[in-house]
Amino acid sequence: MKLISALRQPFVGLALMAAMGIITAEILPFPSVALIPTAVILALCILTVACWPRLLATYAVVGAGFFLLHNFQTKSTEGQQLADELGNRPRVVTVTGCVISEPKIAPSGFATFLLKLKSIELEGRKQSTHAIWQVRWKGVPEFGDELKFFGTAEPIPPSRNPGEFDMRSYLARRDVRRLLFVRYPEGGTLIRHGGGNPIMRAAQKSRAWMQNVLCRGLEDAPDVQNFLSGIVLGLRHQTPEDIEEPFQQTGTLHLFAVAGLHVGIVAALLWMVATVARLSRKSAAALIIPLLLFYAAVTGLHVSSMRAAVMSSILLGGFFFDRRGFVLNSLAAAAVLLLCWDTNELFSTGFQLSFAVVGAIVLLADPLCRSLERWSVADPFLPRVLVRGPRRLMHASFDWLFRAGSVSLAAWIGSLPLILWYFHLVTPISLFANLVVVPIAFFVLAIALLSLLSTPLLPWLAVVFNNANWALATLVIGIVQLFAQIPGGHFYVGPPRWPEKLIAQITVLDLGAGGAVHLRTGGANWLFDCGSERSYQQVVREYLHCAGVNRLDGLLLTHGDALHLGGVTQLVDDFPRIRVVDNPAPDRSTIHRRLQRLFQERGIKPDALSAGDIFRLSPDVTAQILFPPRIFSSLIADDQAYVIRVSVGPAASILFISDSGIQTEDALLASDSNLRNDIIIKGQHHSGQSGSGAFLDATRPRLIIATSRDFPVHERISDAWAEKLQRRGIKLFRQDETGAVTLRFRRDSWEAQSYVTGEIFRSANH
């Protein structure tokens, strides 16, 4: 067929049309009843184009084909049908199925994995299904195990805070619509081992063996073990966050995504082995291609590894037909093949980053290199063979530097829009970090492969290689951490917004029973509490990155509850130069005392403010401590929490009462202070008693933002109290329903917006 005879890279246009067809199907979904008739018409069009090929007609058919394919893959799926049948409430079910992903074991002992169901039993009815669910079970499953579970099928919750990873949307792209929670180990029963895809099962076992080999002799260096497992085998989830974050901040996190670098080194080593064995080029290609695909399976079949393996296979496949391969055409062909397998991959971060970076390198690296080489070009009238000695070495060094620098710059340009969109991060330091780290990582991977090859014959030599890798891995980690600390080397950027004349903006994060409130005013950023250690890692830190906060001016700690200040240790690592306002009331909190010792070690002198003290957050915003008084003590931390009034110009006043209860409210009422406030932000007292009628009469708020969760019982807002607020005309934003709440203050008005529901309450609404 003489299709597109004028173009030598036809897959580029086909890939673009495939993407356009998928995006069109996402924006304008097709009715289900029309899919089959349209598919028949499309099949006739394909036959017509095959007989009378035309360029535009071919592109149109490909775009229409992917439009229909995406509709078929996203409409009336088994996961969606089963989710609709179960409804939106938790259901107790019995299911059988097969583990189809590598289980990830949390420190709590719960394993999380994907289970492809075979049957489900609900309310005495049993039916077959092939839906895929996410499972959390306190057991030790293996890939391919067939299991029977008795547990609770729950809808996957949405993200509840800005910047928080949206697991529900991520799993929905894979048609995973339910989470099966199995509380006890006895809730799961093994039916048999050895199920699932045999190739993937062999890949999982091979990966476990490889990890054992690579970590032999490094038992006393867990950080290095995790680093090597991540960079060689793609086991990124085993890498601690304190190691992974500097790699993200320096733009070198791609080392943990098995991609072109890794696959290229494996292909080069295999080609060397084939050359030593004196295989022909066709025989070598026939040997290397399946091994590269198996390596992609060993590393988890991630998009980057599959893209690299498919590209390499296409380029090597040219040897069979004595045809030259084009890198851009091979890249586009890999994209088309992956989209044929799953059109939803187009919307995954990994797919977009992988193809954007490689595409930018292919298109921009050579032009950038030629531009840079003009700065060091030798005398054009002097033959290169006459350039000798130091001058020749200098030109060779410049050539290498310019080639490597142009690749690094092209990759940075290609990834920048996506890194900004998904991670709100700019990493100019990555241009230099990659020049240093990537060559070392090349040797790390090469030595790791030598260790794997030498283990069957010379185990002692593998240990020598592993110790060499320990030195290189330690060097890489140290260099990356050094680059991450360079001022201005990385910074976070908030999402673009229309210019607003705001005096202040307050975001009340939803941390369950914990608390964290971000106040931005006049260029200053303050945090009232920071949540528990886990909440800070998973929610607060990600929110601050999303909001573009690179510097915190102050941290106020309301009381010694671990759910409110457990993340301080990590926060002062992230923001070392920060003003701390600490509650001076003595308490029995061990974590609070530990933090006070940490402040002494870091040279941080907290301000110990008490009732009557006022501190200014910006020219328009002031904060006044209302409670506790200077000499105060209580056996219960909730009864000595800070109560703070924040005045935002003439617009409004906000009362922060944290987890205060009736006792604190009575003390405030007895103080004869003016407690009138527009907004109250509160948690729940450990007794469950707060927000008394007398206190509400004295404060007369128009809006209350309150934490609420189902367990323990005292953390949940009672229906009676919610009805009492409604009778008084007070708007309630309960965070188990609204998620995070954002308050925006202007000169003469304010508004509150829920993150989950999008509901807006304005001061003019009252």
In a domain, 334, yes or no: no
Over residues 177-185, the mean pLDDT reads: 92
Q: Which residue, 49, 74, 99, sits at the end of a domain?
A: 74
What six digits make up the tokens of 495? 């999402």
Give the per-residue pLDDT at 399: 75
Q: Where are the alpha helices (DSSP H) in 424-577?
A: 430-454, 459-484, 533-535, 541-546, 562-565, 568-574
Instruction: Clarify whether residues 605 and 698 are in a common domain.
Output: yes
β-pair partners for 607: 581
Distance (Å, whole) CA 467 – CA 489 = 31
% of the chain exceeding 70 in pLDDT: 93
Closest CA to 753 of 424, 556, 502: 502
Instruction: Clarify whether residues 55 and 143 are in a common domain.
Output: no
Q: Which amino acid is at 617?
A: L
How high is the mean pLDDT of the chain? 86
Phi (first) and psi of residue 95, to 5 degrees:
-135, 155
* Listed ranges 24-38, 116-130, 274-288; the one with the highest mean pLDDT: 116-130
Give the per-residue pLDDT at 498: 76
Over residues 742-758, the mean pLDDT reads: 94
Whether the predicted pLDDT of 101 surpasses 90: no
Instruction: Clarify whether residues 53 and 93 are in a common domain.
Output: no
% of the chain exceeding 90 in pLDDT: 38
Instruction: Clarify whether residues 161 and 68 are in a common domain.
Output: no
Whether the predicted pLDDT of 246 surpasses 90: no
What six digits make up the tokens of 730? 């007070």
What six digits make up the tokens of 626? 């209302």
Task: Kindly report the CATH number assigned to the domain that includes residue 165.
Answer: 2.40.50
Give the per-residue pLDDT at 562: 92
Over residues 81-110, the mean pLDDT reads: 89
**DSSP annotation of 607:** B
Give the per-residue pLDDT at 378: 59
pLDDT in tens, 471-500: 998 898 899 989 988 888 899 998 877 777
Number of CB atoms found within 10 A of residue 34's CB: 11
Query: Can you state the angle between helices 303-321 and 281-298, rounded to 10 degrees?
Result: 170
In a domain, 296, yes or no: no
Whether the predicted pLDDT of 739 surpasses 90: yes
Whether the predicted pLDDT of 6 surpasses 80: no
The answer to whether 8 touches 326, Cβ cutoff 8 Å, is yes
Structure confidence at residue 449 as a pLDDT band (50, 70, 90): confident
pLDDT in tens, 280-307: 878 888 888 888 888 887 877 776 777 7
Structure confidence at residue 196 as a pLDDT band (50, 70, 90): confident
What six digits make up the tokens of 311? 């590209």
Structure confidence at residue 2 as a pLDDT band (50, 70, 90): very low
pLDDT in tens, 301-357: 776 777 777 777 777 777 666 666 677 888 888 888 889 888 998 998 888 888 888
Over residues 241-250, the mean pLDDT reads: 79
Give the per-residue pLDDT at 766: 45
Of 214-223, 390-399, 405-414, 699-708, which gets the smallest average pLDDT? Answer: 390-399
Task: Kindly report the CATH number assigned to the domain that includes residue 678.
Answer: 3.60.15.10
Structure confidence at residue 91 as a pLDDT band (50, 70, 90): very high
In a domain, 162, yes or no: yes
Q: How many domains does the chain have?
A: 4
Bigger pLDDT: 52 or 381? 52
Q: Can you tell me whether residue 687 is helix, strand or coil?
A: coil
Distance (Å, whole) CA 670 – CA 259 = 67
Q: Where are the alpha helices (DSSP H) in 277-326?
A: 281-298, 303-321
Bigger pLDDT: 385 or 681? 681
Structure confidence at residue 431 as a pLDDT band (50, 70, 90): confident
Instruction: Clarify whether residues 47 and 97 are in a common domain.
Output: no
Three-state SS letters, 304-369: HHHHHHHHHHHHHHHHHHCCCCCHHHHHHHHHHHHHHHCHHHHHCHHHHHHHHHHHHHHHHHHHHH
Q: CA torsion angle for 523, 526, 532, 535 (degrees, to 10)? A: -20
pLDDT in tens, 497-542: 777 789 999 999 999 989 999 999 988 999 999 999 999 999 999 9
Give the per-residue pLDDT at 117: 94
Whether the predicted pLDDT of 380 surpasses 90: no
The answer to whether 100 touches 196, Cβ cutoff 8 Å, is yes
Over residues 44-57, the mean pLDDT reads: 80
Instruction: Clarify whether residues 616 and 750 are in a common domain.
Output: yes
Instruction: Clarify whether residues 690 and 618 are in a common domain.
Output: yes
Q: Which residue, 424, 445, 461, sits at the end of a domain?
A: 424
Instruction: Clarify whether residues 89 and 25 are in a common domain.
Output: no
Give the per-residue pLDDT at 379: 59
Over residues 701-717, the mean pLDDT reads: 90
Q: Can you tell me whether residue 128 is helix, strand or coil?
A: strand
Cβ density class 663-677: b for 16+ within 10 Å, e for less: bbbebbbeeeeebeb
pTM of the model: 0.87
Over residues 680-690, the mean pLDDT reads: 91
Structure confidence at residue 260 as a pLDDT band (50, 70, 90): low
Instruction: Clarify whether residues 507 and 640 are in a common domain.
Output: yes
In a domain, 722, yes or no: yes
Three-state SS letters, 579-605: EEEECCCCCCCHHHHHHHHHHHHHCCC
Task: Express the helix, strand and coil content of the chain in percent, nearest 5 each.
Answer: 50, 15, 30
Whether the predicted pLDDT of 7 surpasses 60: no
Domain that holds residue 672: 502-760
Q: Which residue, 37, 59, 74, sits at the end of a domain?
A: 74
Give the per-residue pLDDT at 249: 87
Structure confidence at residue 382 as a pLDDT band (50, 70, 90): low
Structure confidence at residue 114 as a pLDDT band (50, 70, 90): very high
Number of CB atoms found within 10 A of residue 47's CB: 10
Distance (Å, whole) CA 161 – CA 754 = 10
Whether the predicted pLDDT of 698 surpasses 80: yes
Give the per-residue pLDDT at 242: 64
pLDDT in tens, 538-588: 999 999 999 999 999 999 999 999 999 999 999 999 998 899 999 988 888
In a domain, 95, yes or no: yes
Q: CA torsion angle for 576, 578, 579, 582 (degrees, to 10)? A: -60
The answer to whether 185 touches 135, Cβ cutoff 8 Å, is no
Instruction: Clarify whether residues 63 and 164 are in a common domain.
Output: no
In a domain, 168, yes or no: yes
Over residues 49-78, the mean pLDDT reads: 85
pLDDT in tens, 206-243: 888 888 888 888 888 888 888 888 888 777 665 666 67
Give the per-residue pLDDT at 94: 94
Give the per-residue pLDDT at 506: 96
In a domain, 723, yes or no: yes
Q: Cβ neighbours of residue 122 under 8 Å, at least 6 residues apart?
A: 86, 91, 93, 94
Distance (Å, whole) CA 692 – CA 708 = 17
In a domain, 251, yes or no: no
Give the per-residue pLDDT at 395: 64
Instruction: Clarify whether residues 565 and 621 are in a common domain.
Output: yes
Instruction: Clarify whether residues 189 and 70 are in a common domain.
Output: no
Angstrom CA distances, 310 to 290, 303, 313, 334, 343, stand at: 10, 10, 5, 6, 17
pLDDT in tens, 613-646: 999 999 999 999 999 998 887 878 888 999 999 9
Over residues 54-58, the mean pLDDT reads: 82
